[in-house]
Amino acid sequence: MSQWNDFPHDPTEYTYAGDSLKTHWSDLHRGDCVMLPDAAQLEALASAADVAPPGFDGDFEALARRLRQAWRHYHCGEFQQAVELADTCGPVGHAAANKATGIYATYLEDDDATKADLFEAMIERAQQAMELMPDDANAHYFYAFALGRKSQNISVAKALKQGVGGKVKDALSATLERAPEHAEAQTAMGLYHAEIIDKVGKLIGGMTYGASADEAMAHFQKALELTPEAPIAHIEYGNGLYLLYGDKRIDEVTDAYISASELSPRNAMEKLDIESALAELE
């Protein structure tokens, strides 16, 4: 793995050392519904499927500590370290590895070819997790996330012709069936509907892809209800409004970006989200 670009801020602002990670976990992970890794949880997963890392010695407490440390790296913007450590945890580390990869690729990687490779790595990791842990909501979510980002990288219209839209919708539906309060999946489903309508129109979007402006708005509102303090929920609501209504609702779009920009970041991802909102307001 080549050297990734650094998080351009002080990572110590978002260090959750020791018990601090557990204390803040519910706030940090309300949007993705990831559970705090512990030995009992990992042992239960391993008893149901072959999800232990190669050469695993049976010490689930040590495995849980390693995975918690991977999440600490993620939260403070040490994205490459997060991926490398999470991958040593085997399939149970998929969410930490994929979230770190996705945020890094979205915000900090400038090369399109490298981005494409990163999203492809996410897809492969998520597919393995979906096969081994089909009830894991985030296995399906990060598959949809990576497909969606890959589509944006090559153009949504081209991706739709390749049948990617249906795969994204199915994966997000699977996520929400398993975790209805997965706010990030609610947001992603709202964007699915909005982007389809933006690219092919309401009539074809509805008939061919089941896309609906009302459905989009319902998903965006649910995400905001679940995570009002998450900048990304406000940002993507604004993006969705613009995709659906353009300049007709530009004041609401601007208000959404302002709402995001005024929040206090709790980790590196939210810091980068807020920066993107501020850039939209310039």
Q: In terms of residue numbers, what domain contains 259?
A: 180-282
* d(C-alpha 117, C-alpha 252), whole Å: 36
Vertex 265 angle, CA 260 and 269, to 5°: 90
Residue 213 located in a structural domain: yes
Residue 214 located in a structural domain: yes
Q: What is the pLDDT of residue 157?
A: 67
Q: In 108-201, where does DSSP find H-type helix?
A: 112-132, 137-154, 156-161, 164-178, 183-200
Asked whether residue 62 falls in the same domain as residue 126, the answer is yes
Q: How many domains does the chain have?
A: 2
Residue 164 located in a structural domain: no
Task: Name the pTM for this structure.
Answer: 0.94
CATH of residue 225's domain is: 1.25.40
Residue 171 located in a structural domain: no
Residue 139 located in a structural domain: yes
| Distances from the Cα of 149 to the Cα of 6, 90, 104, 232, angstroms | 21, 24, 12, 15
One pLDDT digit (tens) per residue for the chain, 282 residues: 689 999 999 999 899 999 999 999 999 999 999 999 999 999 999 888 888 888 899 999 999 999 999 999 999 999 999 999 999 999 999 999 999 999 999 999 999 999 999 999 999 999 999 999 999 999 999 999 999 888 777 666 676 777 788 899 999 999 999 999 999 999 999 999 999 999 888 888 887 888 899 999 999 999 999 999 999 999 999 999 999 999 999 999 999 999 999 999 999 999 999 999 999 998
- The tens digit of pLDDT for each residue in 142-179 reads 999 999 888 777 666 676 777 788 899 999 999 999 99
Asked whether residue 89 falls in the same domain as residue 194, the answer is no
